[in-house]
Structure 1
Amino acid sequence: MYNDKKILAIIPARGGSKGIPHKNIMDICGKPLIAYSIEAAKKSKYIDYTLVSTDDIEIKEVGLKHGAEVPFLRPESISNDVAKSIDVVIHAIDFLKDEEKEFDYVLLLQPTSPLRTYEDVDNAIETLMSNGEESLVSLCEVDENPVIMRTIENNKLKPIMEFKGDNLRRQELPKVYIFNGALYLNKVSMILNDKCFVNEKTIPYIMDRKKSVDIDNIIDAKLVALILKENGQCLK
Protein backbone atom coordinates (compact mmCIF):
# COMPACT_ATOMS: atom_id res chain seq x y z
CA MET A 1 0.00 0.00 0.00
CA TYR A 2 1.19 3.51 -0.79
CA ASN A 3 -0.59 6.49 0.79
CA ASP A 4 -3.67 4.32 1.45
CA LYS A 5 -3.71 3.12 -2.18
CA LYS A 6 -3.82 -0.66 -2.57
CA ILE A 7 -1.59 -2.13 -5.26
CA LEU A 8 -2.03 -5.43 -7.08
CA ALA A 9 0.86 -7.11 -8.91
CA ILE A 10 -0.03 -9.48 -11.74
CA ILE A 11 2.48 -11.87 -13.29
CA PRO A 12 1.09 -13.37 -16.52
CA ALA A 13 2.54 -16.81 -17.31
CA ARG A 14 0.77 -19.06 -19.77
CA GLY A 15 2.00 -22.57 -20.36
CA GLY A 16 2.48 -22.40 -24.12
CA SER A 17 5.74 -21.05 -25.52
CA LYS A 18 6.91 -21.44 -29.11
CA GLY A 19 10.57 -20.53 -28.56
CA ILE A 20 11.38 -22.34 -25.30
CA PRO A 21 9.00 -25.01 -23.93
CA HIS A 22 7.67 -24.01 -20.50
CA LYS A 23 9.86 -20.91 -20.67
CA ASN A 24 8.24 -19.23 -17.67
CA ILE A 25 9.50 -21.92 -15.29
CA MET A 26 12.78 -22.80 -16.99
CA ASP A 27 15.79 -22.91 -14.69
CA ILE A 28 17.79 -19.69 -14.59
CA CYS A 29 20.73 -19.82 -12.17
CA GLY A 30 19.03 -22.35 -9.91
CA LYS A 31 15.54 -20.81 -9.83
CA PRO A 32 12.53 -20.98 -12.14
CA LEU A 33 12.30 -17.87 -14.31
CA ILE A 34 8.97 -16.75 -12.85
CA ALA A 35 10.43 -16.77 -9.32
CA TYR A 36 12.46 -13.62 -10.04
CA SER A 37 9.32 -11.59 -10.75
CA ILE A 38 7.45 -13.08 -7.79
CA GLU A 39 10.34 -12.15 -5.51
CA ALA A 40 10.49 -8.60 -6.88
CA ALA A 41 6.81 -8.14 -6.02
CA LYS A 42 6.97 -9.90 -2.64
CA LYS A 43 9.97 -7.83 -1.50
CA SER A 44 8.31 -4.56 -2.49
CA LYS A 45 7.29 -2.23 0.33
CA TYR A 46 4.08 -1.34 -1.46
CA ILE A 47 2.61 -4.40 -3.20
CA ASP A 48 -0.42 -5.74 -1.32
CA TYR A 49 -1.22 -8.82 -3.39
CA THR A 50 0.95 -10.79 -5.83
CA LEU A 51 -1.00 -12.87 -8.32
CA VAL A 52 0.19 -15.29 -10.99
CA SER A 53 -2.28 -15.61 -13.88
CA THR A 54 -1.70 -18.90 -15.65
CA ASP A 55 -3.51 -21.64 -17.53
CA ASP A 56 -0.93 -24.24 -16.55
CA ILE A 57 -1.08 -26.41 -13.42
CA GLU A 58 2.71 -26.82 -13.22
CA ILE A 59 3.23 -23.05 -13.35
CA LYS A 60 0.52 -22.67 -10.70
CA GLU A 61 2.41 -25.03 -8.39
CA VAL A 62 5.69 -23.16 -8.94
CA GLY A 63 3.96 -19.84 -8.31
CA LEU A 64 2.46 -21.07 -5.04
CA LYS A 65 5.80 -22.53 -3.94
CA HIS A 66 7.45 -19.14 -4.33
CA GLY A 67 4.78 -17.24 -2.43
CA ALA A 68 2.39 -15.93 -5.08
CA GLU A 69 -1.38 -16.22 -5.03
CA VAL A 70 -2.82 -18.36 -7.82
CA PRO A 71 -6.58 -18.32 -7.16
CA PHE A 72 -7.63 -19.53 -10.62
CA LEU A 73 -6.49 -21.17 -13.82
CA ARG A 74 -6.81 -18.69 -16.65
CA PRO A 75 -9.51 -19.46 -19.27
CA GLU A 76 -8.31 -20.77 -22.62
CA SER A 77 -9.90 -17.77 -24.38
CA ILE A 78 -7.19 -15.50 -22.94
CA SER A 79 -4.36 -18.06 -22.94
CA ASN A 80 -3.69 -18.58 -26.64
CA ASP A 81 -1.07 -17.04 -28.94
CA VAL A 82 -3.26 -14.03 -29.76
CA ALA A 83 -4.38 -13.28 -26.20
CA LYS A 84 -3.69 -9.71 -25.09
CA SER A 85 -2.08 -8.80 -21.79
CA ILE A 86 -4.76 -6.18 -21.14
CA ASP A 87 -7.44 -8.89 -21.22
CA VAL A 88 -5.43 -11.02 -18.80
CA VAL A 89 -5.19 -8.09 -16.38
CA ILE A 90 -8.89 -7.20 -16.65
CA HIS A 91 -9.84 -10.84 -16.05
CA ALA A 92 -7.74 -10.93 -12.85
CA ILE A 93 -9.15 -7.61 -11.60
CA ASP A 94 -12.72 -8.79 -12.20
CA PHE A 95 -12.05 -12.16 -10.55
CA LEU A 96 -10.64 -10.53 -7.42
CA LYS A 97 -13.48 -8.02 -7.31
CA ASP A 98 -15.94 -10.93 -7.20
CA GLU A 99 -13.89 -12.21 -4.24
CA GLU A 100 -14.30 -8.76 -2.58
CA LYS A 101 -10.65 -7.85 -3.18
CA GLU A 102 -10.34 -4.45 -4.85
CA PHE A 103 -7.27 -2.36 -5.66
CA ASP A 104 -6.43 1.18 -6.71
CA TYR A 105 -3.42 0.38 -8.88
CA VAL A 106 -2.22 -2.65 -10.83
CA LEU A 107 1.35 -3.51 -11.75
CA LEU A 108 2.03 -5.91 -14.61
CA LEU A 109 5.31 -7.81 -14.22
CA GLN A 110 6.23 -9.98 -17.19
CA PRO A 111 8.19 -13.04 -16.00
CA THR A 112 10.57 -12.74 -18.95
CA SER A 113 12.19 -9.67 -17.32
CA PRO A 114 14.04 -11.31 -14.41
CA LEU A 115 16.65 -8.56 -13.95
CA ARG A 116 14.02 -6.05 -12.84
CA THR A 117 14.38 -5.73 -9.04
CA TYR A 118 12.13 -4.90 -6.10
CA GLU A 119 13.93 -1.54 -5.98
CA ASP A 120 12.70 -0.89 -9.52
CA VAL A 121 9.18 -1.82 -8.43
CA ASP A 122 9.25 0.55 -5.46
CA ASN A 123 10.93 3.36 -7.38
CA ALA A 124 8.35 3.07 -10.18
CA ILE A 125 5.47 3.22 -7.69
CA GLU A 126 6.97 6.24 -5.94
CA THR A 127 7.57 7.94 -9.31
CA LEU A 128 3.99 7.50 -10.48
CA MET A 129 2.43 8.51 -7.18
CA SER A 130 4.57 11.62 -6.81
CA ASN A 131 3.61 12.73 -10.33
CA GLY A 132 -0.10 12.13 -9.79
CA GLU A 133 -0.60 10.47 -13.19
CA GLU A 134 -2.56 7.37 -14.13
CA SER A 135 0.14 5.24 -15.75
CA LEU A 136 3.85 4.56 -15.97
CA VAL A 137 5.86 2.27 -18.24
CA SER A 138 9.50 1.16 -18.10
CA LEU A 139 11.83 1.89 -20.99
CA CYS A 140 15.50 1.74 -21.86
CA GLU A 141 17.55 3.75 -24.31
CA VAL A 142 17.97 2.08 -27.70
CA ASP A 143 21.43 0.99 -28.77
CA GLU A 144 20.88 1.69 -32.47
CA ASN A 145 19.32 5.11 -33.00
CA PRO A 146 16.52 5.18 -35.63
CA VAL A 147 17.88 8.48 -36.93
CA ILE A 148 20.63 6.54 -38.72
CA MET A 149 18.26 3.85 -40.02
CA ARG A 150 16.75 3.79 -43.50
CA THR A 151 14.10 1.94 -45.44
CA ILE A 152 14.45 1.33 -49.17
CA GLU A 153 11.70 2.48 -51.53
CA ASN A 154 12.07 2.34 -55.31
CA ASN A 155 15.77 1.57 -54.78
CA LYS A 156 16.24 4.83 -52.85
CA LEU A 157 17.02 5.35 -49.17
CA LYS A 158 14.29 6.86 -47.03
CA PRO A 159 14.78 7.97 -43.38
CA ILE A 160 12.71 6.25 -40.71
CA MET A 161 12.98 9.30 -38.46
CA GLU A 162 13.62 12.86 -39.61
CA PHE A 163 16.44 14.73 -37.91
CA LYS A 164 17.46 18.29 -38.67
CA GLY A 165 21.13 18.81 -38.04
CA ASP A 166 24.44 19.43 -39.72
CA ASN A 167 25.74 15.90 -39.19
CA LEU A 168 24.88 12.54 -37.73
CA ARG A 169 27.51 12.29 -35.00
CA ARG A 170 26.22 9.70 -32.53
CA GLN A 171 26.91 11.95 -29.54
CA GLU A 172 24.58 14.63 -30.92
CA LEU A 173 21.64 12.40 -31.84
CA PRO A 174 18.44 12.72 -29.79
CA LYS A 175 17.98 10.00 -27.19
CA VAL A 176 15.34 7.45 -28.16
CA TYR A 177 13.75 4.86 -25.90
CA ILE A 178 11.93 1.54 -26.29
CA PHE A 179 9.51 -0.31 -24.00
CA ASN A 180 11.52 -2.99 -22.22
CA GLY A 181 8.50 -4.94 -20.94
CA ALA A 182 9.58 -4.96 -17.30
CA LEU A 183 6.99 -2.68 -15.66
CA TYR A 184 3.49 -1.44 -16.53
CA LEU A 185 1.87 0.44 -13.65
CA ASN A 186 -1.68 1.79 -13.97
CA LYS A 187 -4.67 3.01 -12.06
CA VAL A 188 -7.24 0.22 -12.07
CA SER A 189 -9.85 2.73 -13.24
CA MET A 190 -7.75 3.50 -16.34
CA ILE A 191 -7.37 -0.19 -17.16
CA LEU A 192 -11.11 -0.81 -16.88
CA ASN A 193 -12.20 2.36 -18.67
CA ASP A 194 -9.59 2.72 -21.42
CA LYS A 195 -8.52 -0.92 -21.75
CA CYS A 196 -4.90 0.04 -22.36
CA PHE A 197 -1.60 0.36 -20.49
CA VAL A 198 -0.17 3.39 -22.28
CA ASN A 199 -1.68 6.67 -23.45
CA GLU A 200 -0.47 10.21 -24.18
CA LYS A 201 -0.19 10.95 -20.44
CA THR A 202 1.89 7.90 -19.51
CA ILE A 203 5.13 8.78 -17.75
CA PRO A 204 8.46 6.94 -18.20
CA TYR A 205 10.56 4.89 -15.83
CA ILE A 206 14.01 4.61 -17.40
CA MET A 207 15.97 1.42 -16.76
CA ASP A 208 19.52 0.46 -17.61
CA ARG A 209 19.91 -1.70 -20.72
CA LYS A 210 21.68 -4.36 -18.67
CA LYS A 211 18.58 -4.78 -16.51
CA SER A 212 16.25 -4.66 -19.50
CA VAL A 213 16.99 -8.05 -21.06
CA ASP A 214 13.72 -9.72 -22.05
CA ILE A 215 14.02 -13.49 -22.45
CA ASP A 216 12.64 -14.48 -25.84
CA ASN A 217 15.09 -17.22 -26.79
CA ILE A 218 17.87 -19.38 -25.37
CA ILE A 219 20.53 -16.76 -26.14
CA ASP A 220 18.65 -14.22 -23.99
CA ALA A 221 18.43 -16.81 -21.21
CA LYS A 222 22.18 -17.44 -21.30
CA LEU A 223 22.85 -13.69 -21.21
CA VAL A 224 20.62 -13.27 -18.15
CA ALA A 225 22.37 -16.17 -16.42
CA LEU A 226 25.73 -14.55 -17.15
CA ILE A 227 24.60 -11.21 -15.70
CA LEU A 228 23.18 -12.89 -12.59
CA LYS A 229 26.44 -14.77 -12.14
CA GLU A 230 28.43 -11.54 -12.45
CA ASN A 231 26.14 -10.01 -9.82
CA GLY A 232 26.70 -12.94 -7.46
CA GLN A 233 23.03 -13.95 -7.72
CA CYS A 234 23.45 -17.48 -9.13
CA LEU A 235 22.43 -20.32 -6.84
CA LYS A 236 24.46 -22.88 -8.77
Structure 2
Amino acid sequence: MYQDKRILAVIPARGGSKGIPGKNIKTLCGHPLIAYTISAARKSVYIDDVVVSTDSDDIAEVAMRYGAEVPFLRPAELSGDTAKSIDALVHARDTLADAGRHYDSIVFMQPTSPLRHSSEVDEAIEVFYSHGALGLASVVEVTESPLLTRSIGEGGVLHPVIPTGSTVRRQDMPKFYHVNGAIYINSSIQLTPQTSLNDNPIAFIMEKDRSLDIDCLEDFMRAEQILSSLDEPEPIECPWAC
Protein backbone atom coordinates (compact mmCIF):
# COMPACT_ATOMS: atom_id res chain seq x y z
CA MET A 1 0.00 0.00 0.00
CA TYR A 2 1.22 3.49 -0.82
CA GLN A 3 -0.45 6.50 0.83
CA ASP A 4 -3.59 4.44 1.54
CA LYS A 5 -3.70 3.24 -2.08
CA ARG A 6 -4.10 -0.48 -2.67
CA ILE A 7 -1.74 -1.74 -5.35
CA LEU A 8 -1.92 -4.94 -7.38
CA ALA A 9 0.90 -6.47 -9.43
CA VAL A 10 -0.18 -8.49 -12.47
CA ILE A 11 2.34 -10.73 -14.23
CA PRO A 12 1.18 -12.07 -17.63
CA ALA A 13 2.55 -15.50 -18.52
CA ARG A 14 0.79 -17.47 -21.20
CA GLY A 15 2.01 -20.95 -21.99
CA GLY A 16 2.33 -20.74 -25.75
CA SER A 17 5.71 -19.13 -26.32
CA LYS A 18 6.77 -19.53 -29.96
CA GLY A 19 10.37 -18.32 -29.86
CA ILE A 20 11.46 -20.33 -26.82
CA PRO A 21 9.06 -23.13 -25.80
CA GLY A 22 8.31 -22.94 -22.09
CA LYS A 23 10.17 -19.64 -21.85
CA ASN A 24 8.38 -18.30 -18.78
CA ILE A 25 9.47 -21.25 -16.63
CA LYS A 26 12.80 -21.96 -18.32
CA THR A 27 15.58 -22.14 -15.72
CA LEU A 28 17.74 -19.05 -15.35
CA CYS A 29 20.60 -19.33 -12.83
CA GLY A 30 18.77 -21.93 -10.78
CA HIS A 31 15.24 -20.51 -10.86
CA PRO A 32 12.40 -20.38 -13.40
CA LEU A 33 12.42 -17.14 -15.38
CA ILE A 34 9.09 -15.99 -13.95
CA ALA A 35 10.43 -16.36 -10.39
CA TYR A 36 12.56 -13.22 -10.77
CA THR A 37 9.55 -11.04 -11.56
CA ILE A 38 7.42 -12.63 -8.84
CA SER A 39 10.20 -12.02 -6.33
CA ALA A 40 10.64 -8.37 -7.34
CA ALA A 41 6.90 -7.79 -6.95
CA ARG A 42 6.65 -9.62 -3.62
CA LYS A 43 9.61 -7.70 -2.19
CA SER A 44 8.08 -4.35 -3.06
CA VAL A 45 7.13 -2.48 0.11
CA TYR A 46 4.12 -0.96 -1.67
CA ILE A 47 2.52 -3.81 -3.62
CA ASP A 48 -0.29 -5.54 -1.72
CA ASP A 49 -0.96 -8.58 -3.90
CA VAL A 50 0.87 -10.38 -6.71
CA VAL A 51 -1.24 -12.23 -9.29
CA VAL A 52 -0.01 -14.25 -12.27
CA SER A 53 -2.37 -14.37 -15.25
CA THR A 54 -1.77 -17.58 -17.18
CA ASP A 55 -3.55 -20.23 -19.20
CA SER A 56 -1.00 -22.89 -18.21
CA ASP A 57 -1.32 -25.29 -15.28
CA ASP A 58 2.46 -25.75 -15.28
CA ILE A 59 3.12 -22.01 -15.04
CA ALA A 60 0.43 -21.68 -12.39
CA GLU A 61 2.08 -24.36 -10.26
CA VAL A 62 5.50 -22.70 -10.51
CA ALA A 63 4.04 -19.25 -9.82
CA MET A 64 2.28 -20.40 -6.66
CA ARG A 65 5.41 -22.19 -5.48
CA TYR A 66 7.27 -18.87 -5.62
CA GLY A 67 4.56 -17.04 -3.69
CA ALA A 68 2.28 -15.55 -6.35
CA GLU A 69 -1.47 -15.99 -6.47
CA VAL A 70 -3.13 -17.67 -9.44
CA PRO A 71 -6.81 -17.21 -8.56
CA PHE A 72 -7.98 -18.03 -12.10
CA LEU A 73 -6.75 -19.45 -15.40
CA ARG A 74 -6.86 -17.04 -18.29
CA PRO A 75 -9.45 -17.95 -20.97
CA ALA A 76 -8.16 -19.41 -24.23
CA GLU A 77 -9.46 -16.45 -26.23
CA LEU A 78 -7.12 -14.17 -24.26
CA SER A 79 -4.10 -16.46 -24.56
CA GLY A 80 -3.48 -16.93 -28.28
CA ASP A 81 -0.73 -15.47 -30.44
CA THR A 82 -2.88 -12.43 -31.27
CA ALA A 83 -3.95 -11.74 -27.69
CA LYS A 84 -3.01 -8.32 -26.31
CA SER A 85 -1.47 -7.67 -22.92
CA ILE A 86 -4.12 -5.08 -22.11
CA ASP A 87 -6.86 -7.68 -22.54
CA ALA A 88 -5.20 -9.96 -19.99
CA LEU A 89 -4.76 -7.01 -17.63
CA VAL A 90 -8.39 -5.87 -17.88
CA HIS A 91 -9.55 -9.47 -17.45
CA ALA A 92 -7.47 -9.84 -14.27
CA ARG A 93 -8.80 -6.59 -12.82
CA ASP A 94 -12.42 -7.43 -13.61
CA THR A 95 -12.18 -11.02 -12.38
CA LEU A 96 -10.74 -9.88 -9.06
CA ALA A 97 -13.32 -7.10 -8.79
CA ASP A 98 -16.09 -9.66 -9.25
CA ALA A 99 -14.63 -11.45 -6.22
CA GLY A 100 -14.75 -8.23 -4.20
CA ARG A 101 -11.09 -7.35 -4.58
CA HIS A 102 -10.54 -3.77 -5.69
CA TYR A 103 -7.30 -1.85 -6.22
CA ASP A 104 -6.40 1.77 -6.83
CA SER A 105 -3.56 1.04 -9.23
CA ILE A 106 -2.06 -1.90 -11.09
CA VAL A 107 1.62 -2.60 -11.75
CA PHE A 108 2.01 -4.69 -14.90
CA MET A 109 5.31 -6.60 -14.97
CA GLN A 110 6.31 -8.86 -17.85
CA PRO A 111 8.16 -12.02 -16.77
CA THR A 112 10.76 -11.62 -19.52
CA SER A 113 12.41 -8.73 -17.63
CA PRO A 114 14.17 -10.67 -14.85
CA LEU A 115 16.80 -8.07 -13.99
CA ARG A 116 14.56 -5.30 -12.63
CA HIS A 117 15.06 -4.80 -8.88
CA SER A 118 12.30 -4.52 -6.29
CA SER A 119 13.66 -1.09 -5.35
CA GLU A 120 13.04 0.05 -8.93
CA VAL A 121 9.45 -1.12 -8.68
CA ASP A 122 9.01 0.97 -5.53
CA GLU A 123 10.70 4.00 -7.10
CA ALA A 124 8.40 3.70 -10.11
CA ILE A 125 5.33 3.61 -7.85
CA GLU A 126 6.55 6.77 -6.09
CA VAL A 127 7.07 8.51 -9.45
CA PHE A 128 3.62 7.36 -10.61
CA TYR A 129 1.86 8.92 -7.64
CA SER A 130 4.03 12.04 -7.63
CA HIS A 131 2.68 12.75 -11.12
CA GLY A 132 -0.96 12.46 -10.15
CA ALA A 133 -1.34 8.77 -10.97
CA LEU A 134 -1.02 9.24 -14.70
CA GLY A 135 0.14 6.15 -16.59
CA LEU A 136 3.82 5.25 -16.25
CA ALA A 137 6.13 3.16 -18.42
CA SER A 138 9.73 2.17 -17.73
CA VAL A 139 12.22 3.17 -20.42
CA VAL A 140 15.88 2.81 -21.28
CA GLU A 141 18.09 5.20 -23.24
CA VAL A 142 18.69 3.98 -26.78
CA THR A 143 22.30 3.55 -27.84
CA GLU A 144 21.75 4.60 -31.47
CA SER A 145 20.03 7.90 -32.10
CA PRO A 146 16.92 7.64 -34.31
CA LEU A 147 18.14 10.86 -35.95
CA LEU A 148 20.54 8.59 -37.84
CA THR A 149 17.90 5.98 -38.71
CA ARG A 150 16.76 5.74 -42.31
CA SER A 151 14.21 3.79 -44.28
CA ILE A 152 15.04 2.71 -47.82
CA GLY A 153 12.52 3.66 -50.47
CA GLU A 154 12.10 2.86 -54.12
CA GLY A 155 15.34 2.91 -56.04
CA GLY A 156 17.38 2.58 -52.86
CA VAL A 157 16.70 6.16 -51.78
CA LEU A 158 17.26 6.86 -48.08
CA HIS A 159 14.54 8.65 -46.10
CA PRO A 160 15.03 9.90 -42.52
CA VAL A 161 12.68 8.27 -40.02
CA ILE A 162 12.60 11.54 -38.10
CA PRO A 163 12.25 14.43 -40.57
CA THR A 164 14.87 16.72 -39.11
CA GLY A 165 18.48 17.52 -39.79
CA SER A 166 21.20 15.27 -38.37
CA THR A 167 24.16 17.57 -38.88
CA VAL A 168 24.79 17.99 -35.15
CA ARG A 169 27.62 16.07 -33.56
CA ARG A 170 26.66 12.69 -32.16
CA GLN A 171 27.51 13.80 -28.61
CA ASP A 172 25.22 16.82 -29.01
CA MET A 173 22.20 14.84 -30.17
CA PRO A 174 19.21 14.75 -27.80
CA LYS A 175 18.61 11.61 -25.78
CA PHE A 176 15.94 9.18 -26.90
CA TYR A 177 14.35 6.39 -24.90
CA HIS A 178 12.78 3.02 -25.65
CA VAL A 179 9.91 1.49 -23.64
CA ASN A 180 11.53 -1.60 -22.10
CA GLY A 181 8.43 -3.45 -20.84
CA ALA A 182 9.73 -4.03 -17.32
CA ILE A 183 7.23 -1.85 -15.43
CA TYR A 184 3.90 -0.31 -16.38
CA ILE A 185 1.65 1.38 -13.82
CA ASN A 186 -1.91 2.55 -14.38
CA SER A 187 -4.87 3.69 -12.36
CA SER A 188 -7.16 0.69 -12.14
CA ILE A 189 -10.40 2.49 -12.97
CA GLN A 190 -8.88 4.12 -16.06
CA LEU A 191 -7.85 0.87 -17.75
CA THR A 192 -9.94 -0.09 -20.78
CA PRO A 193 -9.38 -2.51 -23.68
CA GLN A 194 -8.32 0.55 -25.70
CA THR A 195 -5.56 1.55 -23.28
CA SER A 196 -2.08 1.46 -24.81
CA LEU A 197 0.41 0.73 -22.04
CA ASN A 198 3.31 1.75 -24.28
CA ASP A 199 1.73 5.20 -24.59
CA ASN A 200 1.67 5.83 -20.83
CA PRO A 201 2.90 9.44 -20.50
CA ILE A 202 5.22 9.29 -17.47
CA ALA A 203 8.74 7.86 -17.80
CA PHE A 204 10.70 5.80 -15.32
CA ILE A 205 14.28 5.54 -16.56
CA MET A 206 16.17 2.28 -16.00
CA GLU A 207 19.76 1.26 -16.67
CA LYS A 208 20.56 -0.81 -19.76
CA ASP A 209 21.45 -4.04 -17.95
CA ARG A 210 18.32 -3.83 -15.81
CA SER A 211 16.25 -3.41 -18.97
CA LEU A 212 17.11 -6.70 -20.67
CA ASP A 213 13.99 -8.25 -22.25
CA ILE A 214 14.43 -11.97 -22.88
CA ASP A 215 13.15 -12.95 -26.31
CA CYS A 216 15.69 -15.50 -27.54
CA LEU A 217 18.35 -17.90 -26.27
CA GLU A 218 21.04 -15.25 -26.71
CA ASP A 219 19.09 -13.03 -24.29
CA PHE A 220 19.03 -15.89 -21.79
CA MET A 221 22.80 -16.19 -22.05
CA ARG A 222 23.20 -12.45 -21.55
CA ALA A 223 20.93 -12.54 -18.48
CA GLU A 224 22.98 -15.38 -17.02
CA GLN A 225 26.18 -13.40 -17.57
CA ILE A 226 24.76 -10.33 -15.86
CA LEU A 227 23.33 -12.25 -12.91
CA SER A 228 26.57 -14.18 -12.44
CA SER A 229 28.59 -10.96 -12.43
CA LEU A 230 26.57 -9.25 -9.69
CA ASP A 231 28.32 -9.02 -6.33
CA GLU A 232 25.01 -9.07 -4.45
CA PRO A 233 22.13 -10.18 -6.68
CA GLU A 234 18.67 -9.76 -5.20
CA PRO A 235 17.83 -13.10 -3.54
CA ILE A 236 14.94 -15.12 -4.98
CA GLU A 237 12.51 -16.30 -2.32
CA CYS A 238 10.63 -19.56 -2.67
CA PRO A 239 8.09 -19.85 0.18
CA TRP A 240 7.26 -23.44 -0.71
CA ALA A 241 9.56 -26.37 -1.51
CA CYS A 242 11.46 -25.63 -4.72
Q: Mean Cα displacement is larger for which, 187-196 or 83-92?
A: 187-196
Q: CA deviation at 1:139?
A: 0.5
The reply on whether 1:230 has 2:229 as its aligned counterpart is yes
Moved segments of 4+, more than 6 Å: none
Distance 1:218 1:196 in 2: 28
Match of 1:99 in 2: 99
How far apart are the structure 2 equivalents of 1:54 and 1:193? 18
State the TM-score, normalized to the length of structure 2: 0.92
Q: How many residues align?
A: 233
**Using the alignment, how far apart are the partners of 1:74 and 1:215 within structure 2?**
22
Asked if the contact 2:6–2:48 (Cα under 8 Å) also holds between the matched residues in 1, the reply is: yes
Give the distance between the partners of 2:33 and 2:42, measured in 1 at CA.
15
Change (3 A) 1:174 1:162: farther
Equivalent residue runs for 1:60-79 within 5 Å = 60-79=60-79
Q: Which amino acid aligns with 2:97?
A: K
- The answer on whether the counterparts of 1:10 and 1:109 sit within 8 Å (CA) in structure 2 is yes
Q: Secondary structure at the match of 2:228?
A: helix
What residue identity is the alignment partner of 2:2?
A: Y
Identical amino acids, percent of aligned pairs: 47
Cα-Cα RMSD: 1.6
Amino acid at match of 1:218: L
1:159 matched residue in structure 2: 160
- Which position in structure 2 is the counterpart of 1:143? 143
Structure 1 unaligned residues grouped into runs of 5+: none
Which residue matches 2:15?
Answer: 15
* Greater mean alpha carbon deviation, residues 23-32 or residues 189-198: 189-198
- Given the two structures, how large is their TM-score scaled by the length of structure 1? 0.94
Deviation at 1:193, TM superposition (A): 7.8
User: Quick check: 1:135–1:198 contact (8 Å CA) kept in 2?
Assistant: no
What are the equivalent positions in structure 2 for 1:44-193 lying under 5 Å apart?
44-154=44-154, 155-164=156-165, 167-192=167-192
Letter in 2 for 1:21: P
Q: C-alpha distance in 2, partners of 1:5/1:81?
A: 34
> In 2 relative to 1, CA 30–234 (structure 1 residues): closer, same or farther, beyond 3 Å?
farther
CA contact (8 A) 1:7 1:103 kept: yes
Larger mean Cα displacement after TM superposition, 71-80 or 201-210: 201-210
Taking a change above 3 Å as real, the CA distance of residues 68 and 175 of structure 1, as seen in their structure-2 partners, is: same
Deviations 1:89-134 (A, max 9, x none): 0110111011100000001000000001101100000011112132
Q: CA separation in 2, counterparts of 1:153 and 1:71?
A: 51
- Cα distance in 2 between the residues matched to 1:60 and 1:180: 25
Extract unaligned runs of 5+ from structure 2. Answer: 236-242
Equivalence map 1:20-39=2 (5 Å): 20-39=20-39
